[in-house]
A = this chain, B = another copy of it.
């Protein structure tokens, strides 16, 4: 693969992207313009690590393009993907807020370009804007909620249910309003996402496919019956 092909030439962060991030949506155009300045562009190749579990956290990231996978590595090589972020999403802000180490690892799933913002700059933005502070609190609360739900899934749901939940979650990510709902993910990545083996994911997916809930292709999954998947979560 030609690693430099298809690279965006875009450099500076625009308010258009900034205000896609829920965190910064509250800013008006003028505030957004000011907030853009301290961000710096960084590019990552597909598969490249952005940061690792245990690293000191000194900056947060805003995705300009590509997808980024947040995951927990385990000593024995297994891993669980906690979340997949896309253009406009912000991640890595936790370590910035409490000055701790990274709790998870981040890896580029595609050739990605992200904008980084260092702690001091972010704090400066915060101290000057109470609206932003309120939003940070709300965002943290929302994320905490998400994590608890995720924990719930890990603790109680069977693998088919977890896989169905993952499919629905992934399908609502990129695509906004589409009939032929396609998820671009390998079965191995899906296995990591729900914390199981590729083989087991394959068996479950084949079962779903036999029920005509989904259609399998190499590297992607077509969702045919959303309701059925939703019902499957309850199992």
**Stretch binding the partner chain, chosen from A26-34, A71-79, A199-207, A209-217:** A71-79
Question: Which of A94, A137, A148, A152 is the most central at the interface, judged by chain B CB atoms within 10 Å of its CB?
Answer: A148
Query: Does A149 belong to the interface (CB within 8 Å)?
Result: yes
Q: How far is the CB of A38 from chain B (nearest CB, A)?
A: 19
Nearest CB in chain B to that of A123: its residue? B134
Instruction: Decide: B97 and A156 in contact? CB cutoff 8 A.
Output: no
Task: Name the B residues within 8 Å of A148 (CB-CB).
Answer: 72, 82, 103-104, 147
Query: Does A151 belong to the interface (CB within 8 Å)?
Result: yes
Query: Does A140 belong to the interface (CB within 8 Å)?
Result: yes
Task: Using known A-B contacts A74-B155, A154-B155, A156-B78, determine if residue A94 contacts B141 with beta carbons closer than 8 Å.
Answer: yes
Instruction: Decide: A103 and B145 in contact? CB cutoff 8 A.
Output: yes
Instruction: Decide: A138 and B97 in contact? CB cutoff 8 A.
Output: yes
Task: Name the B residues within 8 Å of A82 (CB-CB).
Answer: 148, 151
Task: Name the B residues within 8 Å of A178 (CB-CB).
Answer: none
Query: Does A100 belong to the interface (CB within 8 Å)?
Result: yes
Query: With A and B bound together, what is the CA distance between A122 and B173 in angstroms?
Result: 34
Instruction: Decide: A144 and B94 in contact? CB cutoff 8 A.
Output: yes
